[in-house]
Copies of this chain bind each other. A is one copy, B any other.
Amino acid sequence: MKTKIALSLVAAVACIAAFAESLNCASPDGKNALSFALGEKGEPTYSFAYRGRTVVEPSTLGFDIKALGKDAFDGRKPGELRTGFVLAGVERASADETWKPVWGEESEIRDRHEEMLVKLVQKGTGRRMDLRFRVFDDGMGFRYEFPADDDNSVARLVPGENIAPEGKTQPLTHFTIVEERTRFNLPCDATAWWIPADYETQEYRYTKSRVSEIPSLFKAAPDANLSSTLTDFPAVQTALMLKYDNGLLVNIHEAACVDYATMHLRVDGTSFESSLTPDATGAKGWMQTPCKSPWRTLIVGGKGADILASRITLNLNEPCAIEDTSWIHPVKYIGVWWTMITGAKNWAYMPDPSMHAANTTNVMRHIDFAAEHGFDEVLVEGWDIGFEDWFGKEKDAVFDFVTPYPDFDLEGLNKYAHEKGVKLMMYHETSASTRNYERHLDEAYALMNRLGYDSVKAGYVGNILPHGETHYSQWSNNHYLYCIKEAAKRKIMVNQHEAVRPTGLCRTWPNLIGNEAARGTEYESFGGNNADHTTILPFTRLVGGPMDYTPGIFETDLSKICSWKKQRISTTLAGQLALYVTMFSPLQMAADVPESYEKRLDALQFIKDVPCDWDESRYLEAEIGDYLTIVRKAKGKDEWYLGMKADENEHEADIVLDFLTPGKTYEATIYADAPDAVYRTETAGNYVIEKRTVTASDRLHLRAAPGGGAAVSFRLLQ
């Protein structure tokens, strides 16, 4: 990785005992301003302005905790890290670094920010809590840092201050988080695109409302889900997208959530306060100094494209921890999947083997299709014993991840696939039993290595075991990352479903090529998605990392797949194609059954052509909840792909093709909705394909039908 780093450390400023003025940190372009101050009671307080407009008004920071005393038999005593702080120093740094992701929306990412580390000591206890702010041109991030309390030099830190009586400091070594109390005081009653805070699921439709309206809408928002534990107070999940009345767009999320519980945002009037996911005992974090929180991020822009173009989440994560990444690659795949999701077939072999989708013959048919059309891998769900009795039953030990059903020829199918240049993709349904999965992980991964699987989709359906833990508690977050790290040791790529929402960890662990963590295409069968769903996700769920949304449904009438499923998907066919560009992921599925594609090979061509890894991405237009158009340059090729996606309303745009290399000629293949196409109707599958020769000086008029979209490939003509 080629990096340019410019760091300049400014010596700590002298302590100011009666600290009243604020410490400021401007963005590299000088246009954004982070301001920090200690309040009257010594409460850490920050505010943030973006190009002169307030993003967050003065908001307090801190924690309620329980801290272990000097004697282990004492237990943990209640305390707080919210008031009584004095300033012990400030350190500043500048960074301007460009790094290359293993895969991504662009091949080079610039990390340019100003940093301010505010060092604090609490009077009376002598406890230390630092705040590290990083201010970017497109937002900011900050995190809490708790230095190791291994020196008794607190007095030395703040010479003029009587911090704590000699020998009476209460060292902060091992502590429990009762609650993180990070406030986001907003300057207005913003419009929010939100899903309710839930410790178990993120698979919700979005609600658009004023922040002040969330409490009254909160309980009505939930959709049916097998595993759901709503917060018992009105709160929302991140990444949360807000629009201020002055047009400012603000995204609140977190970056690098490692060994920490996932954050929710508790609604308080028109503002928010952090609330972490508790463990089985109600504790929200088990900490030991030195330690730190994840970054709390504010991505800000004047228009939607600013949010989509931001790389703050990735930039606040640690560099890649895997030395040799040559085995990590984008994956385009099909699966033995949609027949089960629609209800046409079963995951389980029992009680009716004729209904079992993952049988050797059927999988061979999928391998043949993948080989013929250039797909890298074939996912097979329901191949191993356990599916016959687990769903919703919270069983401790269900799967062993190595024992196939009798009609699935594990070795033979892998051999068959490899002979055809295709790989099978492993599926591990963990049954949300983290212990059972970890007990079998080594053997399961070893089997994958032996048979030549290089990627696994891991599911966490149902309530998490151990009982009392939830999908987003520190314990569970620790589990997901453990599986990713163990997989990296064995050169296995991971795609986690029903796991925690991503926070950019794929920078550090690029073998995490996929996450679900939102309502995906499967809900087109389970009750439907809103037509605007995929015009919102890029502003929310995707801020943390790519999503395995599994697009590509060509048969928009599900009763054609499963006779009793009288349901239509919420986009047009062309809209499905657009998602391969608008919903970035290095892992892209063509989720429909081979028969659906075989009937529409001309449309399939786009899925075959579109890459999942890019040199460059341009966000041509993006209005959350309405429409967006993105164009991306294929990695290492002078080849561009465009996706336009509309909500329930028709959308038209004139696209300036100035992203193309000047002086070159391209063949544009336009996959568009037919004039009569309307989502959720019998015309939804109607599309038109047009080829046109274009150059950088051309314009292209594109139209998306209601619930529709458009997809265009631009391939160089020699």
Binding site for B on A (CB under 8 A): 68, 71-73, 173-174, 224, 226, 279-281, 283, 286, 288, 389, 391-396, 435, 438-439, 442, 466-469, 475, 478, 482
Contacts and interface: CB of A to CB of B under 8 A. Distances in A.
B395 A286 contact: yes
B438 A393 contact: no
Contacts of A391: 72
A216 to B, nearest CB: 26
A389 to B, nearest CB: 8
B466 A280 contact: yes
Contact of A73 (B224, B280, B478): B224
Nearest to A69: B392
27 contacts: A68-B392, A68-B393, A71-B392, A72-B226, A72-B392, A72-B393, A73-B224, A173-B393, A174-B393, A174-B394, A174-B395, A280-B280, A280-B281, A280-B469, A281-B468, A283-B467, A286-B394, A286-B395, A286-B396, A288-B393, A288-B395, A396-B475, A396-B478, A435-B435, A438-B438, A466-B466, A466-B469
A286 B396 CA distance: 8
Given A281-B280, A438-B435, A286 B467 contact: yes
Contacts of A72: 226, 391-393
Contacts of A396: 286, 475, 478
A226 B73 contact: yes
A551 to B, nearest CB: 27
Number of this chain's copies in the complex: 2
Contacts of A393: 68, 72, 173-174, 288
Closest 5 CB pairs of A and B: A72-B392, A280-B468, A280-B280, A174-B393, A466-B466
Nearest to A393: B174
Contacts of A389: 288
A433 to B, nearest CB: 11
Nearest to A443: B442
A469 B482 CA distance: 21
Contact of A439 (B394, B475, B482): B482
B467 A280 contact: yes
A26 B475 CA distance: 52
Contact of A467 (B281, B395, B439): B281
Contacts of A288: 389, 393, 395
Contacts of A73: 224, 226, 392
Nearest to A259: B396
Which of A396, A467, A468 gathers the greatest number of chain B CB atoms within 10 Å? Answer: A467
Given A72-B226, A73-B224, A279 B468 contact: yes
Nearest to A71: B392
A466 B435 CA distance: 10
Given A73-B226, A438-B435, A279 B467 contact: yes
A226 B396 CA distance: 29
A475 to B, nearest CB: 6
A449 to B, nearest CB: 16
Contacts of A467: 279-281, 283, 286, 475
